[in-house]
A and B are shown apart, each in its own frame.
Chain A
Amino acid sequence: MSMSTPKTRTLTIRTPEGIAFSLQLAGPLIRFLAWSIDLAAISALSGVLKTVIDLIGLISADLAQAVLMAAYFLVSIGYGIVCEWNFQGRTLGKKLLGLRVVDGQGLRLQFSQVIIRNLIRFVDTLPLFYLVGGLAVLLSPRSQRLGDMAANTLVARNPEIAEPDLQQLLPDKFNSLRTYPHLAARLRQQISTPEAAVALSALLRREALAPLARLGLYHELAVHFKNKVEFPEEAVIGLSDEQYLRNVVDILFQETSRAYRA
Chain B
Amino acid sequence: MIIDLGRFIAEERPYWRELEGLLDQLEKEPVLRLDLARIQRFHYLYQRTSAGLAKITGCSADQKIRLFLENLVARAYGNIHETRQKRVAIDCRGWFFNTFPITFRRHVKAFFISLAVMAMGGVFGGLALTLDPLAKEILIPFSHLEDSPAQRVAREEQRALERKAEPKSAFSAFLMTHNTRVSIFVLALGFTFGLGTMILLFYNGVILGAVAADYILADKTTFLLGWLLPHGSIEIPSILIAGQAGLIIAGAMLGRQSSLPLILRLRRLADDLVTLITGVALLLIWAGLIEAFFSQYHEPVIPYGLKIAFGLLELFLLTLFLFRSGKKTERVLPHVDVDT
A69 to B172, CA, bound (A): 10
> Interface-forming stretch among A101-109, A213-221, A234-242?
A101-109
Q: Which residue of B lies closest to A197 (CB)?
A: B60
Contact flag A122-B184 (CB < 8 Å), given A150-B266, A188-B2, A256-B6? yes
* B81 x A1 contact (CB < 8 A): yes
- Judge whether A73 is part of the interface by a CB distance below 8 angstroms: yes
- Judge whether B271 is part of the interface by a CB distance below 8 angstroms: yes
- Judge whether A67 is part of the interface by a CB distance below 8 angstroms: yes
Q: Which residue of A lies closest to B63 (CB)?
A: A201
Q: Which residues of A contact B134 (CB under 8 A)?
A: none
* A21 x B2 contact (CB < 8 A): no
Q: Which residue of B lies closest to A172 (CB)?
A: B6
Within the complex, the shortest CB–CB distance from B53 to chain A, in Å, comes to: 6
- Judge whether A60 is part of the interface by a CB distance below 8 angstroms: yes
* A113 x B270 contact (CB < 8 A): yes
Which residues of B in the span 50-77 have a Cβ within 8 Å of any Cβ on A? 50, 53-54, 57, 59-65, 67-68, 70-71, 73-74, 77
- Judge whether B321 is part of the interface by a CB distance below 8 angstroms: no
* A256 x B7 contact (CB < 8 A): yes
> Interface-forming stretch among A43-51, A158-166, A223-231?
A158-166
- Chain B interface size, under 10 / 10 to 19 / 20 to 34 / 35 or more: 35 or more
Q: Which residues of A contact B5 (CB under 8 A)?
A: 166, 170, 200, 253-254
Contact flag A115-B274 (CB < 8 Å), given A22-B70, A62-B170? yes
> Interface-forming stretch among B173-181, B203-211, B294-302?
B173-181
- Judge whether A8 is part of the interface by a CB distance below 8 angstroms: no
Q: Which residues of A contact B64 (CB under 8 A)?
A: 161, 164, 204
- Judge whether B146 is part of the interface by a CB distance below 8 angstroms: no
* A162 x B68 contact (CB < 8 A): yes
- Judge whether B202 is part of the interface by a CB distance below 8 angstroms: no
Within the complex, the shortest CB–CB distance from B244 to chain A, in Å, comes to: 15
- Judge whether A127 is part of the interface by a CB distance below 8 angstroms: no
- Judge whether B267 is part of the interface by a CB distance below 8 angstroms: yes
Within the complex, the shortest CB–CB distance from A62 to chain B, in Å, comes to: 3
A149 to B264, CA, bound (A): 11
Interface size, chain A (Cβ < 8 Å):
70
* B6 x A254 contact (CB < 8 A): yes
- Judge whether B249 is part of the interface by a CB distance below 8 angstroms: yes
Contact flag A112-B27 (CB < 8 Å), given A123-B188, A252-B2? no
* B1 x A193 contact (CB < 8 A): yes
A119 to B274, CA, bound (A): 9
Within the complex, the shortest CB–CB distance from A124 to chain B, in Å, comes to: 8
Q: Which residues of A contact B59 (CB under 8 A)?
A: 193
Q: Which residues of A contact B271 (CB under 8 A)?
A: 112
Contact flag A253-B184 (CB < 8 Å), given A110-B84, A163-B68, A164-B68? no
Contact flag A256-B270 (CB < 8 Å), given A69-B173, A108-B79, A200-B60? no
Q: Which residues of A contact B74 (CB under 8 A)?
A: 13, 21, 23, 106
Q: Which residues of A contact B27 (CB under 8 A)?
A: 88
From B73, B180, B185, B277, contact of A21 by CB (8 A): B73
* A164 x B62 contact (CB < 8 A): yes
Q: Which residues of B contact A1 (CB under 8 A)?
A: 81
Q: Which residues of B contact A23 (CB under 8 A)?
A: 74
Q: Which residues of A contact B47 (CB under 8 A)?
A: 17
Instruction: Mark contacts of B28-61 with chain A using CB atoms, 8 A cut-off: 1 yes-contact digit, 0 otherwise.
Output: 0010000000000000000100100110010111
Q: Which of B's residues lie within 8 Å of A, judged by CB?
A: 1-7, 9, 13, 16-17, 27, 30, 47, 50, 53-54, 57, 59-65, 67-68, 70-71, 73-74, 77-79, 81-82, 84, 87, 167-170, 172-174, 176-177, 180-181, 184-185, 187-189, 191-192, 196, 249, 263, 266-267, 270-271, 273-274, 277
CB-based closest 3 A-B pairs: A62-B167, A66-B169, A197-B60
Q: Which of A's residues lie within 8 Å of B, judged by CB?
A: 1, 13, 15-23, 60-63, 65-67, 69-70, 72-73, 77, 85, 88, 102-113, 115-116, 119-123, 146, 149-152, 159, 161-164, 166, 170, 188, 191, 193-194, 196-197, 200-201, 204, 252-256
9 contacts between A and B (CB under 8 A): A15-B50, A63-B169, A107-B84, A109-B78, A116-B270, A120-B191, A123-B189, A161-B71, A253-B4
